[in-house]
A and B are shown apart, each in its own frame.
Chain A
Amino acid sequence: MIEATGVCLRYPDDTLALQDIDLQIEPGEMVYITGPSGSGKTSLLKLFMGIEYPTSGSIKVIGQPITKGQTSGIRELRRMIGPVFQEFKLLKGRTVMENVILGMRFLDLPKGQLKEKAKNSLERVGLTHKALSLVENLSLGESQRVAIARAVARNPVLILADEPTGNLDKDNALKILELLASLKDEKTSVIITTHATHLISREKNAKLLTMDKGTMRWER
């Protein structure tokens, strides 16, 4: 699913965000990436999504090399990913249902299926009753669940969640992590960055990767 060899990432201001990253993540794996703020968790996820390119080393995500000049390939890659952002990135002025459907509109799915898939996703995250609400009227926990529904509805082979619990209280954060963990199957990998290590200790089947000052270490 993801193969990285000797990856370094240096930002234009000369900050070394990642160094010597070697990792392999297989289909159907669940991986938590933890570490303090500024340790490189988000930078790693940005590499996986093709938002950043490695300064050196090589990385392939779902067979797509992440290098400059691969615009259409990276666009294709992103269509196979279900991203969940810390700040949700829901489109304001639109309903919950519209947001979920919008994530599928350009995926070459039959038009008649979009609404059905959106309904199923909302049911999975327990938000069917909010389908027609505007997203700006939702609580933080509900907004995050809409973002997850949008990601799930796309039938992704890789779910990338960047600090999905960052804005939530402990109860809501636990629910969101459980929900994300439930999305993993034999084909779909789930990668979650979080600095809330106390919340992930119970997830024994997941791999745990710790980041520190741009370097990585497998904990389990």
Chain B
Amino acid sequence: MKSIFSNSGYFLKETLTMLRLNVLSNSLSLLSIGLIFFLLAMVISGWWTSSHVAEVIQSEAEINVFYNENIGDAGVSQLVERIQEIEGVRESRLVNEGEAYTRMEKILGEEARVLEVFNDNPFSPFIEVQINLEKIDPVLKELDHLTGIEHIRNNKDVLDRIRNISGILKLFGFLVVIAVGITTLIIISHIIRQGIHNQREQINTLRLLGAPEFFIAFPFLLEGLLLTVGGGILAVSLAAFTLKQAYDQMAGSLSFIPLLPSEVLVSNMVIVVMTLSAILGMFGSLLGLTLSRNN
């Protein structure tokens, strides 16, 4: 260990010499690794975003219960109370025509002018029921048994689809992480083996002089690490730029989608990609060294 610290300058210089000796091959490897990690960064970002959207939508899960207006005010109050008692219901409250109209105005924004074509308020009052999403099926079943209800509007299908997409992205993400891991290990171990082959005379000389194996191997480890970390930096720079562009686009046309704050997404992505690149660089180099040793 003492020898590693006292020779750190030499190791770094030696690594840079090795990178310089095969500059074209190493540049292409750096670019390949950067592009692979960019793919990983984008998949992970998509995975986190979809999970976040699904979580937000799930936490705001609600059912709209439209009732028969003939049941009168007392009947409506009674219905609100009975719904509130159902297990899985967090809150049940009446939304009258006026509130329904105001909500729609807010949602439509500048397009709310379209509502002016109606002489009367076109919206019906309804009971807004906030629920625990996992209890949606038993809640719907209970509501079926209540009298005075005309129809129920729920977003179960939409939520199910988002959950499915999120699950697929998660699975896809895992597969991409595995694929990126294996590809990086192969690329790095191949580069290291090639480097060892190119430097075999030097390695042989160092052995004849009595150099310990770690002293000979350390520059190769450092070479793999520098290539993957360099690839990681390239990938996160590209991914941060791409995400910024995507956020700018979505801020205008798809502003209603509850995205993660871009700074949080980018900083988390940088941490994951850089950590992975360092780990894969280390293991790829060790794999290359082991394979060369066995040969």
What residues of chain A lie closer than 8 Å to B7, measured between beta carbons?
Answer: 105-106
**Chain A 71-85 interface 0/1 with B at a Cβ cutoff of 8 Å (1 = within):** 000011111110101
A93-B17, A93-B21, A111-B6 given as contacts; is B211 within 8 A of A106 (CB)? yes
What's the Cα separation between A49 and B210 when bound, in Å? 10
Can you list 24 contacts pairing A with B, beta carbon distance less than 8 Å?
A: A49-B208, A51-B208, A75-B211, A76-B210, A78-B208, A78-B209, A79-B210, A81-B210, A83-B208, A89-B201, A89-B205, A89-B208, A91-B202, A91-B205, A93-B17, A94-B17, A103-B209, A105-B7, A105-B10, A105-B211, A106-B212, A107-B210, A108-B3, A111-B6
- B123 at the binding interface (Cβ < 8 Å): no
| Bound-complex Cα distance A80 to B208 (A) | 11
> Per-residue 0/1 for A90-126: is the Cβ within 8 Å of any B Cβ (1 yes, 0 no)?
0101100000001101111001000000000000000
Inter-chain contact B209/A83, CB cutoff 8 Å? yes
Residue on B nearest A150 in the bound complex, by CB: B209
For the complex, would chain A's binding face be called helix, strand, loop or mixed by DSSP majority? Answer: loop
Q: Is B241 an interface residue, CB under 8 A from the partner?
A: no
The interface residues of chain B lying within 8 Å CB-to-CB of A102 are 10, 206
Q: How far is the CA of A80 from the CA of B212 in the complex (A)?
A: 14
Q: Once the chains are docked, how many angstroms separate the CA of A51 from the CA of B209?
A: 11
Interface string of A149-186 (1 = CB under 8 A from B): 00000100000000000000000000000000000000
* Interface magnitude class on chain A: 20 to 34
In the complex, chain B residues whose CB is within 8 Å of the CB of A85: 208
A29 CB, nearest partner CB in chain B, Å: 22
- A14 to B251, alpha carbons, bound, how many Å? 79
Q: Which residues of A contact B211 (CB under 8 A)?
A: 75, 105-106
Majority-rule SS of B interface residues:
helix
**Chain A residues close to B by CB (< 8 Å):** 49, 51, 75-81, 83, 85, 89, 91, 93-94, 102-103, 105-108, 111, 154
Interface digits, B187-231 against A, CB 8 Å rule (1 contact, 0 not)?
A: 000000000000001101111111110010000000000000000
Distance in Å: Cβ of B256 to nearest Cβ of chain A:
61
- The winner among B3, B208, B209 for most chain A CB atoms within 10 A is B209
- Smallest CB separation, A36 vs chain B (Å): 25
Q: Which residue of A lies closest to B213 (CB)?
A: A75
B215 & A106 in contact (Cβ 8 Å cutoff): yes
Q: Pick the 9 closest A-B CB pairs, nearest first.
A: A78-B210, A79-B210, A89-B205, A106-B211, A106-B215, A111-B6, A75-B210, A91-B202, A103-B209
Most A C-beta atoms less than 10 A away, residue of B6, B7, B215: B6
Query: Of B6, B7, B205, B207, which is in contact with the most chain A CB atoms at under 10 Å from its CB?
Result: B205
| Inter-chain contact A105/B215, CB cutoff 8 Å | yes
CA distance A93 to B208 in the complex (A): 19
Nearest CB on B from A114, distance (A): 10
Bound complex: CA A77 to CA B209 (Å): 9
Complex: how many Å from CA A80 to CA B7? 20
Q: In the assembly, what is the distance between CA of A77 and CA of B17, in Å?
A: 29
Q: Which residue of A lies closest to B209 (CB)?
A: A103
Cβ contacts under 8 Å, B212 to chain A: 75, 106
Chain A residues with Cβ below 8 Å from B209 are 78-79, 83, 103, 106, 154
Q: How distant is the Cα of A50 from the Cα of B3 in the complex, in angstroms?
A: 24
Let me know if A106 and B210 touch, CB within 8 A.
yes
Which residue on B lies nearest to A93, using beta carbons?
A: B17
B202 cross-chain contacts in A, Cβ below 8 A: 91
Nearest residue (CB) in B for A89 is B205
